[in-house]
Amino acid sequence: MIPIDTSAETKNCQIVLAKINDKESIAIVDTPGFDDSHHKSDTEILAEVTDLLVLQHECGINLKGIIYFHRIIDPKMPRSAQRYLNMFQLLCGDEAMTNVIVATTMWSKLANKTEGYVRQQELRDKMWRRMETLGSFVGAYDGTAEMAEQMIMDLASKQHVVLQIQREICIQGWLLDETAAGKSIAAELEQSVRDTRDQLSILDERIAQAYSAEANSRFNRERQIIEQRVEHQSIGRKRLKKNTWAEVSAKIEKTRKLDFKDGLAIFAVIIGTTVNIVLHFLPIG
């Protein structure tokens, strides 16, 4: 079960293991946030989440659902958030929407709860209506452990699901830029590359025509910044072209040779985190 946090700037994945009974347990995985644009590019975010999902699939861990968090305190959906929502839908695919919960958070920070309900309804009408039509549940999360537990158990009662990007990469053998989610990022990246090239051409003309040493120095500093952007774009292109399935499979095989057999243990070792055990049993039924 993988919560997708669209607002928090999560740097690393964390796993919490909750017991249902003596034989069954649920792993709750906190992923990097989609809306971490201040620190990571869209390509980096997609690549990291895709690596995680491919790893989960190849380790034989059933995916019961995804919780998509959105802050209710945001007065309106920014353009970047709309883009990430579209990427999220392409990543999941229509068939998996019945296993998605959209949870609005940070209600305690609102001075007026009525305003929050109005915002949530606007989001349902403008942004999440299609997801609801396909079976997703939209609701407010009050921040309590009880409600978090209820969301988890609601998803745990469902049949496990394979996401669209998992089918595209693990079953069809596609590269990341061949997937639906990857294509949406690739198109934006290529446009960004073209824009950057145009900026470099204009800047080179200004450097050639610089009327003073000070102007020449300023233009060259600007060029260095743009060259760094070109380097990041080049890295992004390479990440979209990588064979995610082959890389993940190689990591799994290497970990198995270290005498790790359990799928969850292999998953935790590869993403480089520890598994926190919840000592109490979650209610079921």
**CATH number assigned to the domain comprising residue 26:** 3.40.50
Residues 233 and 256 reside in one and the same domain: no
pLDDT over 90 at 32, yes or no: no
Sorting pLDDT into bands at 50, 70 and 90, what band is 214? Answer: confident
Q: Where is average pLDDT lowest: 3-12, 65-74, 90-99, 217-226?
A: 3-12
Domain that holds residue 228: 176-241
- Residue 12: predicted pLDDT: 57
Residues 70 and 184 reside in one and the same domain: no
Query: Tens digit of pLDDT for each residue in 83-130?
Result: 888 989 999 999 999 999 999 999 999 988 999 999 999 999 999 999
Residues 141 and 194 reside in one and the same domain: no
**Type and span of the H or E element at 250:** helix 244-256
Long-range contacts of 184-192 (CB under 8 A, 24+ apart): 184/86, 184/87, 184/90, 185/42, 185/43, 185/46, 185/87, 185/240, 186/240, 188/42, 189/42, 189/43, 189/233, 189/236, 189/237, 189/240, 192/233
Residues 109 and 247 reside in one and the same domain: yes
Query: Please, what is the end-to-end C-alpha distance for the chain in angstroms?
Result: 18
Cα→Cα distances 253→96, 250, 275, 279, Å: 28, 5, 21, 31
Rg (CA), the chain: 22
Residues 97 and 161 reside in one and the same domain: yes
Specify which of 31-40, 113-122, 188-197 reaches the highest per-range mean pLDDT: 113-122
Residues 131 and 255 reside in one and the same domain: yes
Which has more pLDDT, 21 or 114? Answer: 114
Residues 95 and 203 reside in one and the same domain: no
Query: Tens digit of pLDDT for each residue in 142-158?
Result: 999 889 989 998 999 99
Burial (0-12, 13-18, 19+ Cβ within 10 Å), 67:
buried
Give the chain's domain count.
Answer: 2
